[in-house]
Amino acid sequence: MNRVAVNPELVQWARKRAHLAIEDLAGRFPKLVYWERGEVLPTFKQLEDFAKATHVPFGYLFLPEPPQIPMPISDFRTLGNQYVGSVSPDLLDTIYAMQRRQAWLRETRLECEAEHLAFVGSARLTDDPAAIGREMRRLLGLENGWAANVRTWQEAVSALRNSIESLGVMAVINGVVGNNTHRKLNVEEFRGFALSDDHAPLIFVNGADAKSAQMFTLAHELAHIWLGSAGSGLSGFPGIFPDGGEVEAFCDRAAAEFLVPEAELRARWPEVQRDAAPFETLARRFKVSPIVIGRRAMDLQLVDRQHFFDFYEAYTQQERRQKQVSSGGGDFYNNQNTRVGSMFAVHVIRAAREGRIGFKEAYELTGLNGGAFQEYAQRLGMELPR
């Protein structure tokens, strides 16, 4: 049995990079603790399996020391665009996949001599973020009260995502890596990210989050697109105040006005201010989290800071008690409407049908293989030769 001389630091690095504890892998690799101490060497096959389990390129495990893998986009989750800690392979693989989609769609639109999207990069950090939030609503054609006319949060998220895609922005919502339900994205690691481009802008929302939170992330990332290249990056908003400098603060305020317009909130506040749960009542109207309503009410001085923070503490404690892991179920092909997006899928399917790209490339771009790609194309009303 051939054993492989591997630096124990690399074994530990691969595990921690995947955000896994030794206990998480002990069943498959009972000697892992000894590998990390350098007391026992793994076999070649064991090391291969370990690389797959931690989603690390196999060759990395033969390096003399752990590599520094740079973030492919700016990181707005902490001040100074620096994130303390490793970035998971699930997040990195998701960013890489979205960058491939964006590059392909940009090239396709340039070949068709499509005009650039004027709203991308039209905002500056010196602008009034509330005015940008109103401009975003205007361009999307969303009237005041639109969310109140939608029955559920799910329908509101879908309506907002479709409106964003109608502008030419790819809006992807997914809680797993591609279609791999064994690789769930972690909300505590990130909420979403934006990839700005004046021909193929893309926003990604972590679908593992609550629907009400997804609404805010969609609006927040759309504000990043309005900022253009200066706004491309990863968002986390771990608390109620943005923690990524002036870019996150700007997008936070633009999203708040976009989702909960000041004029509309002030008009509705007298109706609910004496209710037992005014934030929750308005949350159902605007289809956002009660925390967003409470924070907005505090910023507009409709409630004092102590009132809001008392609510915030009680609500978050309740959320932690009631938190349930989403099953990630639902119809597979309906899920592709958010995981791939019909706008992007139609471009890829049309290119494959016309022979401009091979089916192998089409499968890689959409994450759908063979029969699944054919079936989704059919559901979109685009028959393919079999």
The answer to whether residue 299 is domain-embedded is yes
Q: Are residues 215 and 314 in the same domain?
A: yes
pLDDT digits (tens, 9 = 90+) for 115-155: 999 999 999 999 999 999 999 999 999 988 899 888 888 89
pLDDT of residue 240 exceeding 80, the answer is no
CA dist 29 and 257 (Å) reads: 51
Q: Does residue 327 belong to any structural domain of this protein? A: no
Question: Would strands 176-177 and 180-184 be described as parallel, antiparallel, or unpaired?
Answer: antiparallel
Tell me: do 264 and 366 sit in the same domain: no
| Residue at a domain's end among 276, 291, 322 | 322
Give a yes or no: residue 293 inside a domain. Answer: yes
Beta-strand pair 176-177/192-195: unpaired
Extract the tokens encoding 302.
């409709």
pTM over 0.75: yes
| Domain stop point among 35, 62, 89 | 62
Query: Of 62, 87, 105, which residue constitutes the final position of a domain?
Result: 62
Q: How far is CA 375 from CA 26, 61, 384, in A?
A: 40, 39, 9
In sequence order, which residues have a C-beta less than 8 Å from that of residue 313 and are 6 or more positions away? none
Q: Are 279 and 181 in the same domain?
A: yes
pLDDT at 326 over 60: no
* Within-domain flag for 214: yes
Mean pLDDT on 221-237: 88
DSSP state of 311: H
Q: Please indicate, yes or no, if residue 67 is contained in any of the structural domains.
A: no
Could you tell me the CATH number of the domain that includes residue 52?
1.10.260
**Same domain for 264 and 235:** yes
Indicate whether 386 belongs to any domain: no
Confirm if 262 and 300 have CB atoms less than 8 A apart.
yes
Task: Tell me the pLDDT of the chain averaged across its residues.
Answer: 88
Assess whether 318 and 339 both reside in one domain. Answer: no
Q: Identify the pLDDT of residue 154.
A: 87
Answer whether residue 169 is part of any domain. Answer: yes
- Which pLDDT score, from 0 to 100, does residue 238 have? 55
- Looking at the fold, whether 313 and 339 belong to one and the same domain comes out as no
Residue 126 sits in the same domain as residue 41: no
Answer yes or no: do 216 and 337 share one domain: no
Residues 136 and 27 in one domain: no
Give the amino acid at 114: A
Let me know if residue 74 belongs to a domain: no
**Together in a domain, 297 and 368:** no
Q: Could you report the per-residue pLDDT of 80-109, keeping only the tens digit for each?
A: 444 445 689 999 999 999 999 999 999 999
**Structural domain range at position 36:** 8-62
Question: Does residue 107 share a domain with residue 157?
Answer: yes
pLDDT at position 136:
97
Asked if pLDDT for residue 180 goes beyond 50, the answer is yes
As for how many domains the chain has, the answer is 3
Same domain, 252 and 364: no
Question: Cα 298 to the chain's mean position, in Å?
Answer: 27
